[in-house]
Structure 1
Amino acid sequence: MTSSSTPRKGLSKIACNRLQKELVEWQVNPPAGFKHKVSDNLQRWVIEVNGASGTLYANDIYQLQVDFPEHYPMEAPQQRPADNDRYVKNCKNGRSPKETRWWFHDDKV
């Protein structure tokens, strides 16, 4: 493992066993449109998601990073982007991020 993929805290034995079981299940029967990128870090999964057909996102591939906590499954995994705290802090008028209007820029369109 490289230092960038080293988890902050090691997994408990229960979490390790559960994640190994779930990974095998995922590899045998993956959800449609999702692919697990193989790595040596059981605590951090990188998942590729295909954009939905018939939408602006079709034919694009997105990556999700899921970090499993030390005591998974008793604690939920996280999926937060690196700039999440800055985004939440700067939400318009201190409103919930769920109430924020979204836009994106794509120079291919």
Structure 2
Amino acid sequence: MANASETLGRVAIKRLQKEITEWQNNPPAGFKLNPTDDLSKWTVEFDGASDTFYAGEHFQLQIRFPEKYPLDSPVVVFAGEPPLHPHIYSNGHICLDILYGSWSPAMTVSSICISILSMLSSATKKERPVDDDRYVKASRGKSPKLTVWEFHDDKA
């Protein structure tokens, strides 16, 4: 990930380089960062935690960083087949408040990954959101950051 994307500002480049170094020195348990040539796009792989609905399942996150990261949150979606979860849509979009309005520049890729694993691990049922078909059709090709999310269910 040595090359910096032309779409990133200087602050974002410096911050992402710091996060890569931190990840290499102290990676979050169970997560693998797959290097690319584009600093603005990361791929992270992980397995579902044991003793959960997702044990034995393998997942991949695609993370795209905006020009003003970390002031602006990254776009985080599941690539490939996303897990069946009441807050994860079949197009990979994730309904998780820290990715949108509750984002803080103090958060990192590691903290995002741990939050997503925690969300999966605390699931009480394995199913798509009730509005999955409607949402996927309406959001086709759009960033999940353009969605006006309603965060009201923290028990899924």
Range of TM-score over shorter length: 0.5 to 0.7
Aligned residues: 88
Structure 1 contact 50–58 (Cα < 8 Å) conserved: yes
**RMSD across aligned positions (CA):** 2.9
Runs of 4+ residues over 3 Å off in structure 1: 80-86, 96-99
Choose from 47, 57, 62 the match for 2:59. 62
Q: Deviations over 1:55-109 (max 9, x none)?
A: 232122100111110111111111146845942738xxxxx6767xxxxxxxxxx
Structure 2 contact 43–60 (Cα < 8 Å) conserved: yes
TM-score by length of 2: 0.48
Partner of 1:87: 136
Name structure 2 gaps, 5 residues minimum.
80-90, 94-133, 140-148
Percent identical: 43
Letter of the structure 2 residue corresponding to residue 89 of structure 1: A
TM-score by length of 1: 0.66
Letter of the structure 2 residue corresponding to residue 48 of structure 1: E
Partner of 2:23: 26
Structure 1 contact 14–71 (Cα < 8 Å) conserved: yes
Structure 1 contact 88–97 (Cα < 8 Å) conserved: no
Q: Deviations over 1:18-55 (max 9, x none)?
A: 10011110111011111101111110111111111012
Structure 1 contact 44–68 (Cα < 8 Å) conserved: yes
Distance 1:80 1:62, change over 3 A: closer
Partner of 2:108: none
